[in-house]
Chains A and B, each alone.
Chain A
């Protein structure tokens, strides 16, 4: 362990090795969709795309829950707001077809407004009480989307909005398959790169904010709000900022989701989805950007990987005893319970990382 830490530190300090590391990581990320396509099939590229969206969502929720310590159980509402903003302004629903370059920021901005809308009345609430209010907020958004088809049809109700425009620059649309020099660039590949760019940007922003005056102020509010106020931190504004920032990430992810699917309906934005994103944040390591990325990737891939439970039974036992879709949720739940029991602070907790970087030695005084 100690050895690994030293390695890690040397790697961090040597600019040459670091450059090399970044280049290698970039090469792996660029090759990833094509390698996965060849090895596991196109369905898995799609899963990676979805995982990237969940990384965006997880990082957004991490600002609210992980940094500022505001338990939000209705986070998926911001994803919904972003998705519907995109859908309404880029579909035959109203026959409006804006460019995604305007739509993605619009969706993020509208979601941020909703974030402030949720944050403002709940400034005095914390913990369980805040959780209940945010849960209600999430349901309100979903039910509103479900019912805004009468008397004027805005959202098309439970049927949802179809034929949403894809991301497109001029003639180049991401939902078409291109063949470039023998290389097949399918929609899942193109979207992978678009999502990767957004996820990378959000990781970048999250990391910078975490290690900044603003990030420290958020964590201070999480740890002791009264003391934070006494240190001159404007707790009201910073909590609103956390809600708005978290919602911005959610709204951006929503817009990307709408363009990717070409279809949105209220049933994509249920309480279970909010809980899933929260699970990713908590399980990965609340407050730690790397942990959240890991959590989002794992929790997206795990249920998909468990689909193989059916064929494996067939192969090993001769017939399918337990329906894979039943087994899937059972094993998934079991995995969650086990992970929380074995690593209560998450797979990659933030304080551990801090201490590792500080040299691994922890003062034992006072014990």
Chain B
């Protein structure tokens, strides 16, 4: 059992190259339990690459990622969710022809065990498991205010609603750590405000840790406990939102050199 003060997630000098381009050049960061951790940086800074390394969509070049003190690099991609890491995607990766309910139920896949034969015969324990999965999904759908849409096809819903569905799907895996990749992109001003409240509520009510990649400065700065700024695959600043905002390199990265 790792000590309570080990960070929930630690990236240790993580590198990733795409051909000649170093998308990540030795980034280290540590996310503590229960905090909302913001990751910012201009386009192409390596934020999403870092996310994809964390959820094993990319094989990272060198360095290590520790979750709860254990390395993730030997874990297969489909094992990440079971460890307790849930995520959303920058450009939505919902199962478009499925209903909202089915999407969220797929999110719970890693917490259920029944195999193919048991499902073909629908043994009693499968029925039980199905029922529990559906209950779980419905309660999350309620939590996110999607009750009325549970049986609609995801592709028919507006973008902002789809983002909520994706959040519900990520939460359905009972994550300890939630990775949110630009949750505010494409949302209007009002929706961004609601999102900020929602992310805090998720952290407080479900006791999660949140790692957030976001372009929307006012959102990141208002809800994050700590922020790391990346640029060209390197960490340029780390600290509280106020500290990072005032950091000269951050200002330069966003506004350009004077």
Residues of A within 8 A of B (CB): 205, 208-209, 212-217, 219-220, 223-224, 226-235, 241, 245, 350-351, 354-355, 358-359, 362-363, 365-366
Contacts and interface: CB of A to CB of B under 8 A. Distances in A.
Given A229-B77, A232-B82, A354-B99, A213 B109 contact: yes
A219 B154 CA distance: 14
Interface string B55-98: 10100000000000000000011111110000101000111111
Nearest to B149: A363
A355 B153 contact: yes
Given A220-B106, A232-B110, A233-B109, A212 B157 contact: no
A233 B202 CA distance: 24
Nearest to B95: A223
Contacts of A229: 57, 77-78
A214 B80 contact: no
A365 B122 CA distance: 37
A224 B153 contact: no
Interface stretch (B6-14, B37-45, B126-134, B211-219): B126-134
Given A212-B126, A216-B106, A231-B106, A362 B152 contact: yes
A236 B12 CA distance: 29
A241 B77 CA distance: 18
Contact of B106 (A208, A217, A355): A217
B158 A205 contact: no
Given A212-B130, A219-B97, A205 B77 contact: no
Q: Say whether chain B's binding surface is mostly helix, strand, loop, or mixed.
A: helix
Nearest to B179: A230
B156 interface: yes
Contacts of A354: 99, 151, 153
B78 A213 contact: no
A212 B129 CA distance: 10
Contacts of A355: 151, 153
B95 A213 contact: no
B109 A231 contact: yes
Given A213-B130, A355-B153, A363-B149, A234 B78 contact: yes
Contacts of B126: 212-213
A223 B81 CA distance: 19
B120 interface: yes
B157 A227 contact: no
B89 A227 contact: yes
A102 B87 CA distance: 48
B109 A365 contact: no
A193 B112 CA distance: 38
15 contacts: A212-B126, A213-B126, A213-B129, A213-B133, A214-B119, A216-B106, A220-B106, A231-B169, A233-B109, A234-B76, A241-B116, A354-B153, A358-B99, A365-B158, A366-B156
Contacts of B151: 354-355, 358-359
Nearest to A211: B130
B114 interface: yes
Given A212-B130, A232-B80, A233-B78, A224 B95 contact: yes
Contacts of B94: 223-224, 227
B156 A363 contact: yes
